């Protein structure tokens, strides 16, 4: 009985190996890196302010964990606590 289970498990593992594949999703106007100069994930608020200057506006933290939004001329930066979690270009 044990040999049958092992053989079945091995057969399933080897059979499933050929099924996996991946596609690359390309979206117009979106890049994997921030070559456009936006802050990158993990930067601190202090680093962002020293590199990009004072933001045009700062929205107070909202929710738990606290999310803060800083608006600059060409982009908006979202922070969780004091770390960048996302930076998006303005349209």
Residue 49 CA to its chain's centroid (Å) = 21
pLDDT of residue 12: 72
Residue 18 confidence (pLDDT) above 80: no
Compute the average pLDDT of residues 72-82.
Answer: 95
Task: For 3-14, write each residue's pLDDT tens digit.
Answer: 878 878 777 767
Compute the average pLDDT of residues 44-51.
Answer: 96
Domain count, the chain: 1
Exposed, middle or buried, 4 (CB in 10 Å: 0-12/13-18/19+)?
exposed
pLDDT of residue 23: 75
What predicted TM-score, i.e. pTM, was given to this entire model? 0.62
Query: Which residues form the domain of 64?
Result: 2-27+36-89
> In this structure, what DSSP letter does residue 81 have?
T
Q: Which residue has the tokens 């020293």?
A: 50
Average pLDDT of the residues of the chain? 84
| % of residues, the chain, pLDDT over 70 | 78
Three-state secondary structure readout of 22-78: CCCCCCCCCCCCCCCCCCCCCCEHHHHHHHHCCCCEEEEEECCCCEEEEECCCEEEE
């Amino acid at each position: 009985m044990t040999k049958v289970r092992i053989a079945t498990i091995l057969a399933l593992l080897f059979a499933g190996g050929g099924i996996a594949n991946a596609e690359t999703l390309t979206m117009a106007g979106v890049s994997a890196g921030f070559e456009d100069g936006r802050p990158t994930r993990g930067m601190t608020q202090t680093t962002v302010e020293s590199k990009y200057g004072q933001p045009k506006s700062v929205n107070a933290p909202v929710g738990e964990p606290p999310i803060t939004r800083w608006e600059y001329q060409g982009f908006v930066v979202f922070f969780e606590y004091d770390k960048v979690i996302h930076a998006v270009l303005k349209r």
